[in-house]
Amino acid sequence: MFVLSKLFWFIVQPLAFAFLSMLAVLACLAFSRTGAAAVFAMLAALTLGVTSFTNLGAVLLADLETRFRRPALAEPPACAIVLGGGINTGASARRGIYVFTRAADRYIEALRLARLYPDMTILVTGGDNALTGARNGEAEPAARFFADHGISPERLLYEPDARNTAENAAHTAALLKDRAMDGPCLLVTSAYHMPRAFALFEAASVEVQPWPADYRTDGRPRLSASLDRPMTNAAMLTTALREWAGLAAARLRGHTARLSPRQVD
């Protein structure tokens, strides 16, 4: 299922879909199917236009980012669960340092919390989800990052095997049970990813409080043309569609109770 989900997303992500549509155009022309070629050409042009020259991605991400907010903490949290994705595992392994991704705010916020609450345990969950079979997880570079910033190794826990959010939740549940750690933990992940992550941890019977980080939007974009930053627009829409696809897949598999999770006041 993990491999199938990766292959499915490779096909349907916007730029790949546009590329495959153009290949279909060439194939149709080779067999003199001009009508079908025109349809695929229009699909490719429409996909590229919407992806690169509108802010649709920002609109979709903003909807997800506003669903959960940080709670007022009545007492210091016992632990913070940091979802992997903030470290480029391959580059970190090859260079022997920690190389961050666009989601580095997950680690920055975890470090801030660790300094604010000196008795809090930090649990980093996430392995390597590459289809190549590489095993360059986030545990080693994350340990180096926290050590370089004065966080004692005794305060750190690692779950190195999870390849996706559902496995993050399942493996973390097992680890917390094994360590007999009770009480709610802060769940630190990107704000757009929080609805799916929170729902999956809830389904895995892990009591967490949402602690979103890594905001990608100001929370109030209106759909409009955006001609000056096509690469950013494409990246935003790709991220948004991947997250919505993940929400749909989690619901279809019965991993979550709702297609569109929101914080309950």
What is residue 137's predicted lDDT score, i.e. its pLDDT?
Answer: 80
Query: In the chain, which segments carry CATH 3.40.50.620?
Result: 74-213
Model confidence at 262, pLDDT cuts 50, 70, 90, reads: confident
pLDDT value at 172 more than 70: yes
| pLDDT averaged over every residue in the chain | 91
Interval 89-113: pLDDT, tens: 889 989 989 999 999 999 999 999 9
pLDDT at 133 exceeding the cut of 60: no
- Using H for helix, E for strand and C for coil, what is the string for the chain? CHHHHHHHHHHHCHHHHHHHHHHHHHHHHHCCCHHHHHHHHHHHHHHHHHHHHECHHHHHHHHHHCCCCCCCCCCCCCEEEEECCCECHHHHHHHCCCCECCCCHHHHHHHHHHHHCCCCEEEEECCCCCCCCCCCCCHHHHHHHHHHCCCCHHHEEEECCCCCHHHHHHHHHHHHHHCCCCCCEEEEEEHHHHHHHHHHHHHCCCCEEEEEECCCCCCCCCCCECCCCHHHHHHHHHHHHHHHHHHHHHHHCCCCCCCCCCCCC
Query: What pLDDT, in 10s, does the model give residues 19-58?
Result: 999 999 999 999 999 999 999 999 999 999 999 999 999 9
pLDDT tens sequence across 174-222: 999 999 887 789 999 999 999 999 999 999 999 999 999 999 999 989 9
Domain boundaries 74-213, corresponding CATH code: 3.40.50.620
